Amino acid sequence: MTGRKLSIAAALLLATALTVAPRAQAQSGLTYTSGIQVQNLSDQQATVQIEFYREDTQAIETTATISGEILAPNANKTYFPLASVPSGFKGSAVITSNQPVAAITNLLGNNGAYAGSATGLTAGSTNVGLPLIMRGNSGFNTFFSVQNAGTAPATVNISYTPGSDGNPLNEPAVTIAPGASRTFDQGARPELGDKFIGSASITSDQPLVAMVSQVGTTVFKSLLMYDGFSGGSTSISAPLIMANNNGFFTGLSIQNVGAKATRVTVTYGANTAPGSSFQPASQTLILNPRESGALIQNGGQWAGKTFVGSATITSA
């Protein structure tokens, strides 16, 4: 079983084609407002345009377009609030420029009680992996937005694969217009089971980008976000892993995006926590295609031990 590829929810890429969070919507019982920050990465003046696409009509919100924005070399601009976007807007944005730019979207829930960020993407893929998808997991649910980064209408198929909990599910195929997006809320999908912890795989005949929001509304009130993965690797580095570090711990969600089952090994680096001699043992997972597995650095061998270090994830 060589050459298997993985994706891991660990890092985000800077980019220019952006699935933005809505100005107002109700996912996980929250009301959201979003902003965008754009940076000119060149040593030349950049002219920037931002177009917004409604999810309900799949069309450009023409009155909301921001045109002719000038950014000095290496300068940035924050668009918050999105004054040109009508109240209640839910959808996506496409940012274009005559110079290379990077962009992030900031999502605020319930007037800033929840906050998360994700990055725009320069290109899409016809296969996108989402390593961590949840429903009813100790108060956590996810929802994700899928945007058509192509030039023709996209037929999009989504399949959910349970990991430790839940039921498999295939979403009905949907069509997404170029530049537009659709949102999929796992909290509203009882077919996944009362508790679902697993992954999602998205396929299409047009390149797509996706953005996942993980919302905790009970004990751990938080909003975490990540971009979908267009590919994988047989070796991945995780620079920061923690256990019992002043109350902080980490978790790894690893998805097999290859075509065959694979054995995953997680090897932990040296412990740099002051006063701690604990060195965690390696951990292994066997993952089928599209399946994901989660390793939480809390409990088990980590109970009562402090660790600050790194990890290397390999598949064979």
Can you read off the two tokens belonging to residue 1?
Answer: 């079983």
Of residues 23 and 239, more confidence is placed in 239
Q: What is the pLDDT of residue 111?
A: 87
Residues 6+ apart with CB under 8 A from 274: none
Classify residue 124 as exposed, middle or buried by CB count within 10 Å of its CB (0-12, 13-18, 19+): buried
Q: Which residues pair with 221 in a beta bridge?
A: none
Phi-psi region of 246 (alpha: psi -120 to 50; beta: other; left: phi over 0): left
Q: What is the pLDDT of residue 25?
A: 54
Q: What is the pLDDT of residue 123?
A: 86
Q: Is the pLDDT of residue 6 over 90?
A: no
Q: What is the pLDDT of residue 14?
A: 26
Q: What is the pLDDT of residues 175-232, one digit of tens each?
A: 999 999 999 999 999 999 999 999 999 999 999 999 999 999 888 889 999 999 998 9
Q: What is the pLDDT of residue 16?
A: 36
Residue with tokens 């047989």: 234
Using alpha carbons, list the distances in angstroms from residue 142 to 88, 110, 111, 237, 254: 21, 17, 19, 25, 16
For residues 168 and 182, the answer to whether their CB atoms sit within 8 Å is: no
Q: What is the pLDDT of residues 19-78, one digit of tens each?
A: 555 445 557 788 899 999 999 999 999 999 999 999 999 999 999 999 999 999 999 999
Q: What is the pLDDT of residues 255-282, one digit of tens each?
A: 999 999 999 999 999 999 999 999 999 9
Q: What is the pLDDT of residue 9?
A: 37
Q: Is the pLDDT of residue 254 over 90?
A: yes
Q: What is the pLDDT of residues 96-150, one digit of tens each?
A: 999 999 999 999 999 889 999 999 888 899 999 999 999 999 999 999 999 999 9
CA–CA separation, 23 and 290 (whole Å): 32
Contacts 24+ apart (CB under 8 A), 299-305: 302/243, 302/244, 302/249, 304/244, 305/243, 305/244, 305/276, 305/278, 305/280
For residues 235 and 153, the answer to whether their CB atoms sit within 8 Å is: no
